[in-house]
Amino acid sequence: MKILVIGATGLVGGAAADALEAFGDEVLRASKSSELAVDLTEPESIQALFERIGSVDAVVSAVGSVPFKPLADLTADDYRSAYLGKVAAQLDVVRIGTPHLPDGGSITLTTGILAREPIRTGAAAAMANGALESFVISAAAELPRGLRINAVSPTVLTEATGYHSSFPGFVPVPAAEVGRAFVKSVHGVQTGQVFAL
């Protein structure tokens, strides 16, 4: 299969791309800094990416920028930033990318454990992750042409040691295991699912 992985220079996106390549897929790696450059905060950039690469069998979006602050310090702009940086960016991938997928193709978004379990300073991230997960459940019922949509929702990654202190008592998951969840989403039959790790 030919698969577009957006956010492939990041830890999660890189793990997804590596796992899909190991499975035998042709992976197109896109990010802000790669040869296939895209800025998900600009719909025109997403459209240009899809026009450049043409049709793909599946799309993986592993992006999202959210502010981490104590609840009392979060401003309206912080919540808007979380929405635009993680939710709207990935929704635009779905909206713009859907016509470029064949019948039966798939889209996989990336959320995170904060949709289900809280940490200090994580309210904006929780809001964004929860919104995406609810969207996936609902969108699966309406996507045309047998298209599937799922989300991968990992906990803190083993390799992301700089974040471990923010997740006290959480059991980190290896990036390779997260990568395999993307393989399951892309090559499986499930739709409207959140693969939590």
Cβ neighbours, 10 Å, residue 93: 25
Residue positions counted in the chain: 197
Q: pLDDT averaged over the chain?
A: 97
pLDDT of residue 139: 98
pLDDT of residue 170: 97
Cβ neighbours, 10 Å, residue 164: 13
**Total tally of structural domains belonging to the chain:** 1
Tens digits of residue pLDDT in 15-57: 999 999 999 999 999 999 999 999 999 999 999 999 999 999 9
Tokens of 93: 């991938």
pLDDT of residue 13: 98
- What pairs with residue 36 in β-bridges? 30
Confidence of residue 189 (pLDDT cuts 50, 70, 90): very high
Here the CATH number for the domain that contains residue 175 is 3.40.50.720
| pTM, entire model | 0.97
pLDDT of residue 174: 98
Confidence of residue 58 (pLDDT cuts 50, 70, 90): very high
State which residues form the domain around 171: 2-196
